C-alpha cells in the first residue's frame, strides 16, 4: 500500500495493519508527514511538527503482553495546541507562550502514549481555545478544507481540518462551549464531548471543574470510539475521573443500534438557527424516523441556559486566566480580556445563583430522558462562515454582542453534563457540511456511540473524507 493510500485508511484499519505487522509505525509517520507537507500549506492546521521525536517513538513501540481495548500499536496522532506534550512546542495559541516547551505530558497525552499513540505534532487553536473560529497571533488562521474561504470552527479547528484532509487518523480535542463539536460539524468529521470525568484532565489548577473536557475526534464513529478507549480511565490527579468500562467503546460502536425514542429540536427553544441548517438536520432526523425510531419534536426546558453558561464560563476564566490579564494584558485578544473582566465583576451571589440554576436544568434534563433515549439538534446554528469574521454577530433578527452567545446550542448541552457527539448529516446547497448533535444521558457514551453509528450508516457520509482542500473564490 502506498503512503498516500495509507492516509486514506480508517484509524481502525491502520491499527489492524499495525497489529498484524503488515505496516510499521514508521511507515505511518512518513505517510502522515508527506500528506501534511502536501496539503497543510492550503489550510494551516498543523503548525508544529515533531517528526524526529515521532520517528524515535515509532522505532520504540512494543506491544504489551496482553493488548487491551484502545491499544493503538504505533498510530500517529495530532494533539491540540492547548494540551501539553513534553518537549514539544505548545503555545496555547498565544504569543505569551510562543516559545513554550512543557516538561511533562498532559495526563491524557501520557495515557495515549502508553496505549501506543505516537504524537506527530500540534493542531492549531484560537488563543487559549477562546472562540469558535481558529485563528491566533502566533500561527494565523486555519481554513476549512471544504471551502478555504471559510472558517473550520473552533477551538479544535486544526484537529478537525487535519482529519478531514487525511493529515492524521485521530486527533485530540477539547470542548467548553462546543469547541470540539462545532469544528467537527464544520468539517464533516466526528467529535465527542464526553461526560465530565470520562477522559482525565490535567494536572490543572481546578481539577473539580466540569465545563471544559477533553474528547476524541475521528473520521467516523468507530475510529472515535477506538480513541476513546485509549483515553479513558482513573487518574489520581483528576478526582472526577471514571473507571474504564468493562465493555470497550469500540465494541459499542461496532454494534449500531438505532434509539427507540428520539426528541428533536431545531433550536432548543432558546435562539435562532439558520433555516438551511435547520432543514438539513430535520431531514436527517426524518431519515432516522423512516428507519424505525420514534421521533417527536421535543426537548428539555433550556430557559436561561446561556445566562448560566456565561456566568460560570466567566468564573472559570478568572480561575485559570486572571494572572494573564494582570501580567500580559497587551498580548491578549479582546475577547479574552472581555471574558476575564466579566468574571472579575461577578458577585458571589451571581455565581451561586448560576450554580443553582444549573442544578435545576440538570434535573429537568434527567426528567426528560425518562421518556426519551436521545436528544437530537443541530451542532451549529449557521454553516461555516467567512474565515475573516471573528464570530457570528447576527442570525435573522437576533444580534449577538459577544463571541459566545451564538454558541448557545452547544453551550446549553455543556451545562447538562451529558455526552454529546457531532455526526455529519448533510450539506448546504453550496456544499458546506452540517452536523447533527446527538445527546445522551450522563455516562451513556456506549449507548450514544451505538446510536451515532446507526445514524452514520443511515446518513451514509462517513466515506466523504478525507478530501483535498477546495479553494474558495479569493
What is the set of active-site residues?
Answer: 80, 155, 179
Q: Which three cell numbers stand for residue 36?
A: 501534511
Three-state SS annotation for the chain: CCHHHHHHCCHHHHHHHHHHCCCCHHHHHHHHHHHHHHHHHHHCCCCEECHHHHHHHHHHCCCCCCCCCCCCCCEEEEEECCCCCCCCCCCCCCHHHCCCCCCCCCHHHHHHHHCCEEEEEEECCCHHHCCCCCEECCCEECEECCEEEEECCCCCHHHHHHHHCCCCCEEEEEECCCCCHHHHHHHCCEEEECCCCCCCCCCCCCCCCCCCEEEEEECCHHHHHHHHHHHCCCECCECCCCCCCCCCHHHHHCCCCCCCEEEECCCCCCCCCCHHHHHHHHHHHHHHHHCCCEEEECCCCCCCHHHHHHHHHHHHHHHHHHHHHHHHHHHCCHHHHHHHHHHHCCCHHHHHHHHHHHHHHHHHHHHHHCCCCEEEEECCCCCCCECCCCCCCEECCEECCCCCHHHHHHHHHHHHCCCEEEEEEEECCCCCEEEEEEECCCCCHHHHHHHHHHHHHHHCCHHHCCCCCCCCCC
Neighbours of 319 (CB within 10 A): 12
Residue with cell 430522558: 369
Interatomic CA distance for residues 278 and 297, integer angstroms: 13
Distances (CA, A) of 79 to 48, 117, 123, 219, 228: 10, 11, 6, 15, 14
Amino acid at each position: 500500500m502506498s503512503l498516500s493510500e495509507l492516509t486514506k485508511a480508517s484509524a481502525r484499519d491502520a491499527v489492524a495493519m499495525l497489529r498484524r505487522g503488515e505496516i510499521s509505525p514508521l511507515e505511518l509517520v512518513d505517510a502522515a508527514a508527506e500528506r501534511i507537507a502536501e496539503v497543510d500549506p492550503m489550510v494551516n492546521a498543523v503548525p508544529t511538527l515533531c517528526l524526529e521525536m515521532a520517528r524515535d517513538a515509532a522505532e520504540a513501540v512494543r506491544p504489551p503482553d496482553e493488548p487491551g481495548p484502545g491499544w493503538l500499536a504505533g498510530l500517529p496522532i495530532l494533539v491540540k495546541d492547548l494540551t501539553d506534550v513534553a518537549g514539544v512546542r505548545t503555545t496555547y495559541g498565544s504569543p505569551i507562550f510562543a516559545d513554550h516547551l512543557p516538561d511533562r505530558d498532559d495526563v491524557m497525552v501520557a495515557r495515549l502514549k502508553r496505549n501506543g499513540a505516537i504524537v506527530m505534532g500540534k493542531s492549531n487553536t484560537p488563543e487559549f481555545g477562546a472562540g469558535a473560529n481558529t485563528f491566533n497571533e502566533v500561527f494565523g488562521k486555519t481554513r476549512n478544507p471544504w471551502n478555504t474561504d471559510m472558517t473550520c470552527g473552533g477551538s479544535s479547528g486544526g484537529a478537525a481540518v487535519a482529519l478531514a484532509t487525511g493529515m492524521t487518523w485521530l486527533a485530540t480535542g477539547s470542548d467548553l462551549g462546543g469547541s470540539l463539536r462545532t469544528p467537527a460539524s464544520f468539517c464533516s468529521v466526528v467529535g465527542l464531548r464526553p461526560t465530565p470525568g470520562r477522559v482525565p484532565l490535567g494536572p490543572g489548577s481546578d481539577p473539580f471543574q466540569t465545563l471544559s473536557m477533553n474528547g476524541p475526534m475521528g473520521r467516523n464513529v468507530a475510529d472515535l470510539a477506538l480513541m476513546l478507549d485509549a483515553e479513558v480511565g482513573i487518574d489520581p490527579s483528576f478526582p472526577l475521573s471514571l473507571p474504564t468500562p468493562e465493555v470497550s467503546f469500540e465494541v459499542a460502536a461496532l454494534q449500531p443500534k438505532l434509539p427507540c425514542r428520539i426528541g428533536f429540536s431545531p433550536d432548543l427553544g432558546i435562539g435562532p438557527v439558520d433555516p438551511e441548517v435547520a432543514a438539513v438536520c430535520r431531514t436527517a432526523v426524518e431519515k432516522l424516523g423512516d428507519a424505525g425510531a420514534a421521533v417527536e419534536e421535543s426537548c428539555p426546558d433550556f430557559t436561561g441556559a446561556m445566562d448560566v453558561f456565561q456566568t460560570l464560563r466567566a468564573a472559570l476564566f478568572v480561575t485559570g486566566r486572571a494572572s494573564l490579564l494582570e501580567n500580559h494584558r497587551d498580548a491578549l485578544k479582546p475577547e479574552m480580556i472581555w471574558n476575564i473582566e466579566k468574571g472579575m465583576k461577578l458577585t458571589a451571589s451571581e455565581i451561586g445563583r448560576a450554580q443553582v440554576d444549573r442544578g435545576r436544568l440538570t434535573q429537568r434534563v434527567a426528567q426528560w430522558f425518562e421518556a426519551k433515549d436521545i436528544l437530537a439538534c443541530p451542532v451549529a446554528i449557521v454553516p461555516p462562515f467567512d474565515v475573516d469574521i471573528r464570530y457570528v454577530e447576527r442570525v435573522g433578527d437576533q444580534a449577538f454582542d459577544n463571541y459566545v452567545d451564538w454558541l448557545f446550542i452547544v453551550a446549553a448541552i455543556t451545562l447538562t453534563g451529558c455526552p454529546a457527539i457531532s455526526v455529519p448529516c448533510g450539506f448546504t446547497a453550496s456544499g458546506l457540511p452540517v452536523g447533527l448533535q446527538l445527546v445522551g444521558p450522563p455516562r451513556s457514551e456506549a449507548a450514544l456511540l451505538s446510536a451515532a453509528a446507526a445514524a452514520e450508516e443511515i446518513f451514509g457520509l462517513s466515506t466523504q473524507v478525507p478530501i483535498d482542500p477546495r479553494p474558495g473564490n479569493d
